[in-house]
Amino acid sequence: MKTSIFFLFLFISFYSFGNNKIHDVDIISYNIDMKLDTISRKLDIHSDIRIQNKDTISDVKFLFRDWIKIERAKLNGRNLEYHQAKDTLYVHANKLKTLNLTIDYTLPIDSFKLDKKENVIALNRPLKWYPYIYDDISELNSKITVPKGYNVYSSGVLLDYNENNAFCHYRFQNKINSGFPYFFAPKGYYRETTKRQNGINIKFCFHNPDSILTKSIIRESLSGFDFGTLYIGKYNRPNLTYIEYPGFDCSQSLETFVLMGSDFIKYFGLYPSIRFWPSHETIHQWIGAGYFNSFSKRREKMCFMEESLTEYLRYMCVEEVYGTDSLKNEIKRSIDYYNKQIKGTPQDVSISTNLPNDVTYLIGPLILHTVRLEMGDENWHKFIRKLYVDNYGKVIDYNIFKSTLGLYAKLSTIQRMEESMNTKGVPKEYSHY
């Protein structure tokens, strides 16, 4: 196993989503009605998307798998003009300001199973199973019908559940949605553990039978959750779910939903240097899934603002739990890894290249540690809290990050931070490590 796999899991959100320049349209709400048919191996979907066309453009572009056959489509009650190409759905909007788009289609469920041997059907945003637009955070309401032998897991709040002799009916709501995750699993597939932490219901769903291993992951996750709540700010949602994703070779934090690849659950027990992923992904519930970093319109320094900052806050979580020497050990570990594995290789680039590579997770936190030292702990803490409190549920870019930092840091500190982002290698102030 190559050491680079220890950082591979963090890259999924960037490589899966790609880059796509979009016009200024605002999705107000999504309404989805789904029915799972396990006999015909299909998922029937009726969708209702309400949109404000701010630019009154002629065509609106959605990310959507181009091989998914649309059965019926209407715009404001009339037959819709559209075409599909390269995983993009082009909707002819006729320059209307308000759009009510309804689409009916069917998904062959085996096409959305990463591990064909398992019975879990998992949907999330990178799969482009549902029409969406980058950087558009909106309300989501969903009604789901499944055979009685199945459970449904969602990032939304469960508003209603009922069942009859043949089917179970779920109704979920997301006040803020960005990831579109839904898991359909046979009853009994997951061992569920629910914890009540800081007034929040936190559910863990594991298929892995190793209870010692899973309990250790739960402890690490709850430690990260405590740090986020106490240091960054109140967790503004009523629930959080961690769920094992068979066939998924990474780990990813979506809004109220943490995906845990089955391999990474195993690696947690096998490799000490990979034990950091539960706390890292948990802290993402505040940074990247509490407020969101602009992905398509103003992507500058996105990796630094999201991944480097989350990883440095994980360092601080370690410092909080284990003491100052532990933080020094994290810094030394990063420097050693860079010098042995990255220096002089094609990955040896500056942070300013904005790539989700090892440098983002190794050098970025060092730059932020210097910023914290120059600002002082009190001002650094105020900066982190204000960034979250002011922007919860919103999409931010580097201009907002920088202007918020400027409220508490000297201009010279910001200039030094940006110089370090444009310079390759370990910052010179760490030469004594």
Structure confidence by residue, pLDDT tens digits, 227-284: 999 999 999 999 999 999 999 988 999 999 999 999 989 988 888 778 889 999 999 9
The dihedral sign for the CA sequence 348, 354, 356, 360: positive
Pair 49, 27: CB distance under 8 Å: yes
Domains of the chain: 25-116+127-180 (2.60.40.1730), 191-290 (1.10.390.10), 293-430 (1.10.390.10)
Residue 218 pLDDT class (50, 70, 90 cuts) = very high
Distance CA 308, CA 348 (A): 16
Lowest mean pLDDT among 31-45, 52-66, 234-248: 52-66
- Position 3 scores a pLDDT of 36
Burial 89-110 (b: 16+ CB within 10 A, else e): bbbebeebeebebbbebbbebe
Question: What global pTM score does this model have?
Answer: 0.92
* Residue found under tokens 């430690």: 223
CA distances from residue 12 to 135, 242, 261, 307 in whole angstroms, order as listed? 17, 17, 11, 12
The dihedral sign for the CA sequence 394, 395, 397, 401: positive
Beta bridge partners of residue 79, listed in sequence order: 74
- Position 55 scores a pLDDT of 77
